Structure 1
Amino acid sequence: MFFVWSQKRINVKLAFWGPVDSGKTTVVHALAAQVAQRVDDVDVPERDTRQAVGMRRNALPVEVDEPDTRFTTYFCHPPGEIGEFSGYPVHYQCKTPEQPLEGNLALEKVLDGISAVIFVADAARERQGANEEALRDLVARLSQRYQVDAGSTSALVEQLFGADGPLRLVLLANKVDLDSAVSGEDVRRGLMLPSWVEVVESVATGERGVFEAFTAAAQAMRPLLEQAQQRGRIPS
């Protein structure tokens, strides 16, 4: 996260990560639709004020498709508490890698400068192994970036996303409407994630649970914003 002095706003990045076909891109598009709806519902003076500082409130997700670099990126400034910190607007960049993942150079770009991860797990019972593999890949990549001690996936999750870690994590159990779906709590236990990881169940095609997961991630990042302000990276 960083402060844009020319526009007096805070930029925050978060990644949507998960196994192949878990619905990551669908989740990002559903989030865009829900943010746009909430923006349309706010008071006109508030909307005009935020647009005046360069916030494109109704931007749509953009799919970047270059050789070996495929990802979807979405910029938003949601209304309400999560759209503001210490009197400054908070501008979120949401990124997720496109499929296939093999050889996709965007994997590392998606993780650049993030403050939180929304892990989009597939709730289908037969996909729990794929969820575990994707989580192992995520923490392995992040552990190299943040030089945390090697250990089990659970230990790395604690070091990366715990109270003293540099990042925050929300689990989004997607496709809970499937006949073979397990509950979000079962997904969490299967991934051996600690109880402090917030779990949100979703049906991204119906836009259910998506904004709630985004809100949970935004709220979880508040202490990181406070720390950045204490270090002078965000003005008081």
Structure 2
Amino acid sequence: MRAMILAAGRGERMRPLTDHTPKPLLAVGGKPLIVWHIERLAQAGITEIVINHAHLGAQIEAALGDGDRWQVSISYSAESSALETAGGIAYALPLLGTQPFLVVNGDVYTDIDYAHLALPAGKLAHLVMVDNPPQHPAGDFGLVNGLLQEDASHKLTFSGVGVYHPDLFVTVTRGQPAKLAPLLKAAMRQQQVSGQHHAGVWHDIGTPERLKQLDEWLSRS
């Protein structure tokens, strides 16, 4: 299975840190956020990785190169301006192939075991859900009998890690911005989105304060 790391966001809430450094290259625990993902993907045996970028993308390519130092192969999907999540994935489909692929948000830190993620037969997406963090108490979707639902009494938060079938993006015009949530919700209404709950480590690095907290936590670990 191939993997894509989403790294095209501007990181407005991370300013001024992201004025001169792309968000995925911000360091925690002595290495850039995105390197943690690359290392975990390599450990899981996933060696073909696509990274999209827009803001300061040349820095990302210069820092990571072709991935040889991690025994992986990195391809880049350069966007002249950020295409949002679904738009970015659709734009990168020629690099991702025709089989289901893993997508990881570049601005999270997690110990999710990528080796054990797969797309069940007949589904368009499989999302990893986590407990709701303080900054997102309402959650995103409900997980009921292995299926995700838009309307549920109890909701969990989407971790930013999922496995997708290329067909999920068939309605997205390549090169045009598109959000992921509407595609997922439409597929959920057709019971085509499965999910699982991850109870382990997960951090959303959305602000400089949360970046600092994670860095301090990793330094103590």
* TM-score after normalising by structure 1: 0.28
More helix by percentage = 1
Look at both structures and tell me which one has the larger radius of gyration over its CA atoms. 1
TM-score (norm 2): 0.29
